[in-house]
Structure 1
């Protein structure tokens, strides 16, 4: 019998006897609701599964990798890093040597590596809320002090305010999501460079992380922080294959940075942390990047249509460069969320009070969302 099999009172007593870190006591694990409903629009997944051709190539690549599963994988995954560098050059026009690429099991592990390397006891990580709810958990798990500043009313980051926060708190890590989750807000390069300039003044150094998990969904003309990477050795730009590539189940995140920064992450990563199967799946998908990115255009168009539809019904909508839309405001957002769920549509109750977030799905899923919202909110 395991602890999970015990009655609740006995389970609480058993947990109390464990030497759990004080700051972890009473906490629940992170995770959005996973419910079996017809329309899932709550975790920013790509609604389009891989094509038959992609699945076939992935299956063949995994079969090939399986023949060597008695051996440890390439712990520095050099072939995958080359493929990722090739993809980033095609997607953002920035040529990178593979030594400037790092990867892990989802961008979550990439972020954890960053906090393990540059955070820790006596150090501070800084971001600007509202933003991704996992950031403070990365800080907590690495015993890094977490400090949060505020975004403006339109969810942008004021570079003057950001610079002042950096000077005041002297963080060793600054986390900037662009596009930001849950608001969808992209940061102009001028703001990012202002933050990088302020970070130069931190005693002991400061790494600035621009999290571009939704970077491929940015609107035409919106730049990537990759464009200023060469000028800033303390900059790391994070990406993922979970969203645009439709590979949330594969768990592959990566970043681009200076070789010295990447080498620091190699120190803290667990041995052979990226399995041979994961590497094979990612490389097979990257070979189909042109096909997979074609679906991104359809999601961008559906997003923009959704924004216009919501605004036409008198709702507030945050400008978004991601594959989701933050909208509101509602006196009782939970009632709206529950009403949609009762009609088979699951969205996310997140962000500032009164706001809700909907991921962009297929045209059919978005019709179901709109019909349910009209009925529940009386639009």
Structure 2
């Protein structure tokens, strides 16, 4: 017996060639019992024997033998968003020794790590589409910063033992996923200043009792995004309450939605309207304005510039990644921090309009509350 598990199609090819086990054994110079053991999976053939079999059948060795798929993975299933509730395709990561699965958008084209075979409450049995060693290298990062896409590419290109999956979501959802052990790192940006200390205070409340690291990704300006030339004459936060304008909404708990609520309450003395198109992130806000589906929304300057739109700054912010210190010390998560604290990354960020990378990779330690 062997620990190596193979899927083999020797019996299929033998029958297709109208050969008995004895006839095949004679052609290969082995016993009939050896052929029987190979077909039933109790014996793995040597490389030489596998090559001779392929020659007899006129096929490739890969047609006869392949590594068996890993058994189903039992994973905690993250809450699904409105656009992926019916999806069976998931990305996987191992957080604190437990697998976490996140559904991918039903109509998206992001490569999946597995397929849901069954759901039991907040857990799922997932059929993996890659070996477990590959899946264990995946770092799950939740946040709304478009720059996280570039981070994922840099980590994948620089390191062979780490890769990053960016999960697009706002402040509250990101921190909730981190507190629930469903991601390795969570993004957080706060308007109104406060620096790393403000981020640390929020992180302590969400994850009490854990020593944390706050790692800066970038600094940016957040403000009103309007069509080029500002044809609707939008002038400030009070316009977000104007019922004649189509205002992009973000999910509750996102930094943009929190800023919009404060502006309307302070400048228009009313509640923020709950109508208007919904966007999942800064880039979607800008896209809705550019294509004419909305008149105004709150997003970062970089998103507005990328779409050729006008931008009215409202606040300067820092975007940080929060990660438990014990998780940050281990590969593959440590690779993400290495990639952020890299001169080449800071140089790249400095050449992206709307981003400030002067503090990228700076780490602040937050002691357990």
Query: Under a length normalisation based on structure 1, what TM-score does the superposition of the two structures give?
Result: 0.23
If asked which structure has higher relative contact order (CA below 8 Å, sep 6+), I would say 1
The structure whose residues are more often helix, as a share, is 1
The structure whose Rg is larger is 2
